Amino acid sequence: MRIQLRFTIILLLTFFSSFAFAQQHGSIKGKITSTDGKPAAYVSISLKNNSINAVTNDNGEYTLPRIKPGSYTIKVSAVGINSQEKNITIIAQETLTVDFILTENSQVLEAVTIAGKNNRYKVSLPSASLRLNEPLIEAPQNIQTVSNSTLKDQQIISMSDGLIKNVSGATRLEHWGDLYTNITMRGSQIQAMRNGFNFVSSYWGPLTEDMSIVEHIEFVKGPAGFMLGNGDPSGMYNVVTKKPTGFNKGEVSFTVGSFDLYRTTLDFDHKITNDGKLLFRLNGAVQTKGSFRPFEKNDRYTFAPSLSYQLSNNTKITAEYTLQNAKMTEVGSYYIFKPDGGYASLPRNFTLTQPGVQPTRINDHSVFLNLQHKFSSDWKLTAQVAYSKYLQNGTSSWPSVINANNTVIRNVAIWDAESTMKLAQLFINGQAKTGGINHRIIAGFDGGKKNYLADWGQSHDLDLPSSPFDLNNPNYGFPSNGYPNFDRETPLLQRAITAGGLMDQKYLSGYVQDELGFFNNKARLTLAGRYTYVSQSAWGGTPDKAKHFTPRVGLSVSIDKNTAIYAVYDEAFTPQSGLLRSGETPDPITGTNHEIGLKKDWFDGKWNTTISAYRIIKQNELTGDPKNKAGETFSIIVGEKRAQGIEFDIRGEITDGLRLIANYAYTDGKVTKVAEGVTSIVVGEIVPGFSKHTTNAWLTYTLQNGILKGTGISGGFTYLAGRATGTYDGSNANKNLPNYFKLDGGLFWENKKVKITANAFNILDKYLFSGAYYTDYWNAPDYTQPAYSWQAEAPRNYRLSIAYKF
């Protein structure tokens, strides 16, 4: 009894003392909105020189409880907005209301809050690395952004993992599996960018990015002179990596899937100092992954820390480091070759890979340093440098002989490589006004040095001519000719020189663009130009040098605040190597793009549609001179190639809880002119590198109320028709790829802390594949056997992810 009495007294004393203590404190609450009256979600609120802080909710509301009476300075801040401060006085037992109206509008806040809130498929602003200082709807260019929430909902784990279905007209070349992405769009392979830098060190780069480091991906259709002048005019994609946001948050996720997929990711974002000047973010992933084919593996880990420091109110520096490590089956393991029977005439899980062949190991290091300085609210300078070191030690497989009796001799070649890139950019964004004309100005320089060296000069046949590999009765025991024993004692540089595996590029370019706004900026005329100097060599040859001026003219007109039409003319060029009989240096390949389009935001910007029509013409491309005699290697100009088409994209939140990504593209690439004497191609011949009809859709619906609130269903499909990605034969349809249809779907549930996602891929369990028909591809004097080649995709498979936010 005495014990119970003492316990009761202690509880009462504790309660009253706590109550009295609480009465000695005050609190602050309020709401933060933009100038157009919309709530500013995920904006940071803090008391200066104090550890008390909070972040606004979806309605822009915040609360700071339990504050001792006294005088304070309350500060509101977020990445990309001007911070504000107010002096306040806290009185005991009172709640003070302090509201803020930010000077930026809701479109700018959307870019700020996307890191803290992944609730939209639509992104309205380009990243800073894309240099365009305007909403996407006003830009005279077709730019489509794949958001971070899209990546998570679709359980995309790398750039080569089904991501392109979110963009109209994008297809993927086969061969490199999950090593290199190699995306084609508008009839040609597009450039791969990361944080605004061209990260292609050779045809085969870069290593496909793991999605744990990616904030979102921007696809720019057609030439983009504001980013680069040398490259294919079909376009580019820009991977924007995750950076510190100023929010204290984190997320850990676990994924399991078919074929022994086990994956863990971590995203930790934190303010190191209470004033928010020093920020830190760490992203990482660990993965083991098998395959539906035997003997294949793809194990990876990623480590990506970043720091951001606000040197002053106007100056900020950000540093990022990324390590991607991969250990995977040799390059080429996805390929199947067969001389007869057509595509898919072998089992879906068939492989030519030999167990015991050395896997490919890759260490991909990259460093980014970015400095931003605001001269005023209208002018900003950006200086950034990047360094990349790519190390590969491995092999690639490819048959050296294919026989008509369905036997092959499998070959394994060494592929050791090293790539180094040193890149730099300096550009300024500004706004000015002369009379009634607004000016949005971009000006800057780009420079870089890239070196790639590789040893692919050593190879070994796994099978003997007397004992070839039988496609009908495969034997994966000890190969008849044994395993290779490659020379790796000799330094890689020396081996690369012997193999002709040296490539390098140096470039320097300057760019100026002025977007002139008329009639209160409702009509915008873009005038721009880039001058580029490039020196590059391939296969160890003599450097080819080119300098070229590429102009850009664009017009964008806002019919109303949600609708804009545009037209653009832009150019790009690609240096090329070749020997002309005249002794002259060949001109670079030039590409011009004519494009018109219509963009519209619907229902207050919740979703967006874009439709565009384009025509790209490429000239000056070289081919072998048909008049060559024995030992001659002269080239001549082919003529002219044209790619044209129509593209349509829709993305965003159609109604509350209903989100849609859908697109369609019609693409046609043909030879339009042929130089005199060229017989290898004819006018009207299709130039492979596209699918004539590409249709994609992804739809999700989330319950907004009730006991099942947060539960949702998703589904989508990809349909490809008229595929001409690798080869195309107008006279024999059997050599061309059939149409393609893939259906995916899943279920999910989420609340503020936890999200569970389960997806099924290839629900119809179709035998899906990509490939090409090769005719004397190896050019060996004793080899003339054509062959079907294809890469099968996985049968019906599943993934389950659990993510926890902290």
d(CA 333, CA 92): 71
Alpha-carbon torsion, ordered 675, 676, 679, 685, to 10 deg: 40
Q: What are the residue ranges spanned by the domains of the chain?
A: 23-106, 114-241, 249-805
Q: Closest by alpha carbon to 47, among 97, 86, 93?
A: 86
pLDDT at 180: 83
Query: Model confidence over 473-486: pLDDT tens digits?
Result: 999 999 999 999 99
| Coil/strand/helix, residue 194 | strand
d(CA 148, CA 283): 14
Q: How confident is the model at residue 22 (pLDDT cuts 50, 70, 90)?
A: very low
Backbone angles phi, psi at 476, to 5 degrees: -100, 25
d(CA 754, CA 133): 36
pLDDT at 783 over 60: no
pLDDT at 695: 98
Point out the least confidently predicted range of 74-78, 188-192, 259-263, 715-719: 74-78
Query: Model confidence over 584-599: pLDDT tens digits?
Result: 777 788 899 999 999 9
Query: Model confidence over 403-447: pLDDT tens digits?
Result: 999 999 999 999 999 999 999 999 999 999 998 899 999 999 999
Query: Model confidence over 229-267: pLDDT tens digits?
Result: 888 899 999 999 999 988 899 999 999 999 999 999 999
Cα–chain-centroid distance for residue 380? 26
Q: Is the Cα dihedral 196, 197, 199, 202 positive or negative?
A: positive
d(CA 77, CA 100): 11
HEC per residue, 709-744: CCEEEEEEEEEEEEEECCCCCCCCHHHCCCCEEEEE
Q: Is the Cα dihedral 759, 765, 766, 768 positive or negative?
A: positive
| Coil/strand/helix, residue 254 | strand
| Domain spanning 114-241, CATH architecture | Beta Complex (2.170)
Under 8 Å between Cβ of 234 and 580: no
pLDDT at 630: 61
Backbone angles phi, psi at 111, to 5 degrees: -65, -35
Query: Model confidence over 621-668: pLDDT tens digits?
Result: 776 666 676 666 677 777 899 999 999 999 999 999 999 999 999 999
Under 8 Å between Cβ of 722 and 686: no
pLDDT at 622: 75
CB neighbour class for 190 (10 Å; exposed up to 12, middle 13-18, buried from 19):
buried
pLDDT at 607: 92
Cα–chain-centroid distance for residue 634? 38
Structure tokens at 145: 């952004």
pLDDT at 189 over 90: no
Q: Is the CATH code 2.40.170.20 the one for domain 249-805?
A: yes
pLDDT at 614 over 60: yes
Averaged pLDDT, 508-532: 95
Averaged pLDDT, 164-179: 84
Whole-model pTM: value is 0.85
pLDDT at 140 over 70: yes
d(CA 294, CA 568): 50
Q: How confident is the model at residue 109 (pLDDT cuts 50, 70, 90)?
A: very low
pLDDT at 231: 82
Q: How confident is the model at residue 768 (pLDDT cuts 50, 70, 90)?
A: very high
Averaged pLDDT, 151-172: 93
Under 8 Å between Cβ of 547 and 588: no
d(CA 128, CA 227): 12
Query: Model confidence over 347-383: pLDDT tens digits?
Result: 999 999 999 999 999 999 999 999 999 998 889 999 9
pLDDT at 449 over 90: yes
- 528 Cβ neighbours under 8 A, 6+ residues apart: 225, 226, 442, 511, 512, 513, 514, 551, 552, 553, 554
d(CA 479, CA 461): 9
Under 8 Å between Cβ of 287 and 261: yes
| Domain spanning 23-106, CATH architecture | Sandwich (2.60)
d(CA 440, CA 450): 32
Averaged pLDDT, 222-229: 88
Averaged pLDDT, 111-137: 72
pLDDT at 744: 98
pLDDT at 175: 60
Q: Taking all residues of the chain, what is their mean pLDDT, rounded to a whole number?
A: 88
- 494 Cβ neighbours under 8 A, 6+ residues apart: none
Helices then strands, counting H and E runs in the chain, come out as 4, 45
Q: How confident is the model at residue 203 (pLDDT cuts 50, 70, 90)?
A: low
| Coil/strand/helix, residue 112 | helix
d(CA 25, CA 95): 9
Under 8 Å between Cβ of 566 and 552: no
d(CA 218, CA 652): 15
pLDDT at 75: 87
Who wins on pLDDT, 586 or 156?
Answer: 156
pLDDT at 503 over 50: yes
Averaged pLDDT, 198-222: 88
Averaged pLDDT, 487-512: 94
Cβ atoms within 10 Å, residue 731: 5
d(CA 729, CA 298): 34
Averaged pLDDT, 517-527: 95
d(CA 530, CA 551): 6
d(CA 357, CA 608): 49
d(CA 713, CA 703): 9
pLDDT at 10: 45
d(CA 269, CA 79): 13
Q: How confident is the model at residue 460 (pLDDT cuts 50, 70, 90)?
A: very high
pLDDT at 182 over 90: no
